[in-house]
Copies of this chain bind each other. A is one copy, B any other.
Amino acid sequence: MGVATRLSEPLDSAPIDAFATDAPEGGKEDALSTLACLVAADMEACNRTIVARMDSEVELIPRLAAHIVAAGGKRLRPLLTLASARLCGYAGDRHVSLAACVEFIHTATLLHDDVVDESVLRRGLTSANAVFGNKASVLVGDFLFARAFQLMVADGSLQVLGILSHAAATIAEGEVLQLATQNDLSTTEARYLDVIRGKTAALFAAACEVGGVVAVRPRAEQQALFDYGMNLGIAFQLVDDLLDYSADQATLGKTVGDDFREGKVTLPVLLAYQAGGAAARAFWKRTIEASEQTDDDLAHALALIADSGAIQETLERAANFAAKAQSALGIFPPSVIRTTLHRVADYTLSRVR
């Protein structure tokens, strides 16, 4: 297909001038939109697959699924599958249904995470479990998960099935590990990284790797895509955890302080706790470990984190992972889409104001 060929062409001959040179710093925020534009037709097809395949004779299923799937979100993960395939010069359409699989798996984990986290806001809307109840959220999540595997079976690649079933197991492990580290300030940074590698980065990595698999690229390129996704996912989650203590609610689209109220031990908290004096440590122990919180505590937590330098430190860690993600792209020849994926890593960091 013409589009695919164009996207993976050497940068020099890229027909879209806007991407032929480095955009100024301010342009970073648009990297995701640019990526979405570059694979817009693929994403439209993917959205059609999503809507068609989340259907069921059991009417509550599409209704609940629509609440979270159709709400849209950034569609970041399927975007990565579509873009990775195009980066590899793939000209077929298998990546479309596999991108839908990736989104279904992601949506299933969101639905189950909603049950888990009792969060009130998700993607700016009221969460599915607040509207439909815990039961329905768990079961529709199970349905979407099963549907994802049906789609993969229809695609017919055991390698893809292996990649995404492994990712699904790793996500669950990461989520359980997060549960085990909850309210525990003795959690190490390494263990925290294990949590976010599992709960977030594993699916980013798999989403990218699948793009290289459908394009039947050499193992080294598939591994490079996996590495890009893994490091991008870690950077993304680090920033997400950071935003929970710094963004305003409108920007974040979820409730600021959710992590704090749930006693999640994220890097900003770990760093602020470790850097803190006796009073700060006592505060964190009371609020995070003992889960004893008053209405004023969130404001104090935000202040402690701001003063401790934890925001900057977390951002630096994220920048290191984003750089690793960018470095993994080096195996591919320069192209519009490679440049854009490179910028997506910068964009991940730019969400911090």
Q: Which residues of B contact A168 (CB under 8 A)?
A: 142, 145-146, 149
Main secondary structure of the interface of A (DSSP, over half): helix
Interface segment among A130-138, A253-261, A299-307: the answer is A130-138
Residue pair A142, B179 in contact (C-beta under 8 Å)? no
Q: Per a CB cutoff under 8 Å, which of B140, B153, B165 touches A162?
A: B153
Give bound CA distance, A161 to B164, whole Å: 13
> In the complex, which residue of chain B has the Cβ closest to the Cβ of A148?
B165
Residue interface bits A168-182, CB-to-B below 8 A is 1, else 0:
110111011101100
Give bound CA distance, A57 to B156, whole Å: 31
Closest chain B CB from A34 CB (angstroms): 33
Residue A143 is within 8 A (CB to CB) of chain B in the complex: yes
Residue interface bits A120-159, CB-to-B below 8 A is 1, else 0:
0000000000000011101110110111011011001010
Residue interface bits A95-129, CB-to-B below 8 A is 1, else 0:
00000000000001100100110000000000000
Q: Which residues of B contact A139 (CB under 8 A)?
A: 112, 116, 172, 175-176, 179
As for how many copies of this chain the complex holds, the number is 2
Residue pair B140, A176 in contact (C-beta under 8 Å)? yes
Residue pair A176, B112 in contact (C-beta under 8 Å)? no
Residue pair A153, B165 in contact (C-beta under 8 Å)? yes
Closest chain B CB from A322 CB (angstroms): 27
Residue A250 is within 8 A (CB to CB) of chain B in the complex: no
Give bound CA distance, A177 to B140, whole Å: 11
Residue pair B165, A149 in contact (C-beta under 8 Å)? yes
Residue A35 is within 8 A (CB to CB) of chain B in the complex: no
Residue interface bits A307-329, CB-to-B below 8 A is 1, else 0:
00000000000000000000000
Closest chain B CB from A59 CB (angstroms): 7
Residue A265 is within 8 A (CB to CB) of chain B in the complex: no
Residue pair A142, B172 in contact (C-beta under 8 Å)? yes
Given A142-B175, A143-B176, A149-B165, 8 more contacts at CB 8 Å? Answer: A59-B180, A61-B172, A112-B138, A134-B134, A139-B172, A143-B173, A146-B171, A150-B165
